[in-house]
């Protein structure tokens, strides 16, 4: 199948869909200033994932886990969308997060 046919087929499926989910890589948010998890300045450079992102981590140190996720929410709330994300909320029927 040619690229144009693939794009046309994807477009048709998206138009027929009741809901669409878009998964992106970390680069999309990194451009907005949101740290990635595994990059040079990644979020896991100071902590292992098991220290923050598991039920056991929360049971062991709930304050650390809450503070880390609160910090992360603040970073994301202060970020501005990057150009690659602009078409997403502009799509017909899009619901803001």
**CATH number for the domain that contains residue 65:** 3.30.1600
Question: What does the block give as tokens for 48?
Answer: 């292992």
Measure the N-to-C terminal CA separation of the chain; round to a whole number of Å.
Answer: 35
Q: Find the domain containing 54 and state its range.
A: 3-90
Confidence tier at 97 by pLDDT (50, 70, 90): very low
Is residue 80 assigned to a domain? yes
Is the confidence at residue 71, as pLDDT, over 60? yes
pTM of the model: 0.58
Is residue 26 assigned to a domain? yes
- pLDDT digit string, tens, across residues 20-58: 887 877 677 788 888 888 777 777 778 887 788 899 999
| Cβ neighbours for 33, distance < 8 A, ≥ 6 positions apart | 75, 78, 79
Is residue 95 assigned to a domain? no
Please give the tally of structural domains in the chain.
1
């Amino acid at each position: 199948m040619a690229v144009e046919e693939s794009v046309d087929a994807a477009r048709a499926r998206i138009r027929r869909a009741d809901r669409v989910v878009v998964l992106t890589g970390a680069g999309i948010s990194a451009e907005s200033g949101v740290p990635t998890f595994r990059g040079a300045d990644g979020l896991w450079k100071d902590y292992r994932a098991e220290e923050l992102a598991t039920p056991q981590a929360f049971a062991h140190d709930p304050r650390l886990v809450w503070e880390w996720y609160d910090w992360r929410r603040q970073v994301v709330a202060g970020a501005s969308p990057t150009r690659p994300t602009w078409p997403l909320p502009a799509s017909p029927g899009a619901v803001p997060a």
